[in-house]
Structure 1
Amino acid sequence: MKQKIRDILAKHGGLPTPVDQLADDADLYAAGLSSFASVQVMLGIEDAFDVEFPDNRKSFQSIDAITKAVSGLVGSTEAAE
């Protein structure tokens, strides 16, 4: 799941630092994620995992936070991937 999230982040996040160089707990906003890009990432994740995020900016604070939020939305079966 984290690799899929990293792929989506790399495609839609527009970060100046390569996503593969970011720690799972790195602050994505401090790494350069803009509000607009976070919406693009959210839409990409919603499409990839067939989920709908509630409005919660904290869900996109880090790769760990995104993984936790997606896991809660799709259940533990897909989270084990």
Structure 2
Amino acid sequence: MNETIRALLSKLGGLPMPVADLADDADLYAAGLSSFASVQLMLGIEEAFDIEFPDNLLNRKSFASVAAIEKTVAIIVDGRKVA
């Protein structure tokens, strides 16, 4: 999951640095992720993982870092399995 998220972040995030240089807990917004890019990233993640972000997880915190994105995707995937 981490590799897929990083690949999408590299492709869609528009960051001024290589995504490989970022720690999993690095603040993506401080690294240059814009609101527009976060929406593009969200759409890419939805497609890659065949999920849909619920409204309650569409917030800055969910996209704050690679680790936060992984956690959010895991919550959605686990919830889908339970439902």
TM-score (norm 2): 0.87
Query: Aligned letter for 1:62?
Result: S
Counterpart of 1:9 in structure 2 is: 9
- 2:68 aligned with 1:65, yes or no? yes
CA drift of 1:52 comes to 1.1
C-alpha offsets along residues 32-51 of structure 1, whole Å, 9 cap, x if unaligned? Answer: 00000000000000000011
C-alpha offsets along residues 53-74 of structure 1, whole Å, 9 cap, x if unaligned? Answer: 1322210000000000000111
Counterpart of 1:79 in structure 2 is: none
| Percentage of pairs with the same residue | 67
Query: Aligned letter for 1:67?
Result: E
Q: Return the index of the structure with the highest Cα Rg.
A: 2
Query: Aligned letter for 1:57?
Result: R
Measure, in 2, the Cα distance between the counterparts of 1:50 and 1:8: 14
Measure, in 2, the Cα distance between the counterparts of 1:52 and 1:42: 9
Show structure 1 runs of 5+ residues with no match: 77-81
TM-score (norm 1): 0.89
Alignment coverage as a number of residue pairs: 76
Measure, in 1, the Cα distance between the counterparts of 2:21 and 2:60: 22
Query: Aligned letter for 2:42?
Result: M
Counterpart of 1:51 in structure 2 is: 51
Q: CA RMSD in A?
A: 1.2
Q: Stretches of 4+ moved more than 2 A in 1?
A: none
